[in-house]
Amino acid sequence: MKANCFYTPPSEPHEGMPKETINVVIVRSDTVVVETQ
């Protein structure tokens, strides 16, 4: 069961990681880069 948490088939979306969350992480990463520069 734990293996499913670490590996998810690319064809299936990760229920625990919705696209909205990924977008937020990307935005935060970009913000950190801008603040660092």
pLDDT in tens, the chain (37 residues): 455 555 555 555 556 666 666 667 667 767 666 666 6
| pLDDT for position 1 | 45
- The total number of structural domains in the chain stands at 1
| pLDDT for position 37 | 61
* Structural domain for 28, as ranges: 2-36
* pTM for the full predicted model: 0.26
Instruction: For the chain, count helices (H), then strands (E).
Output: 2, 0
All residues at 6 or more sequence positions from 15 whose CB lies less than 8 Å from its CB, including other chains: none
The C-alpha angle with vertex 32 and arms to 30 and 29, in degrees rounded to 5, equals 40
| pLDDT for position 5 | 52
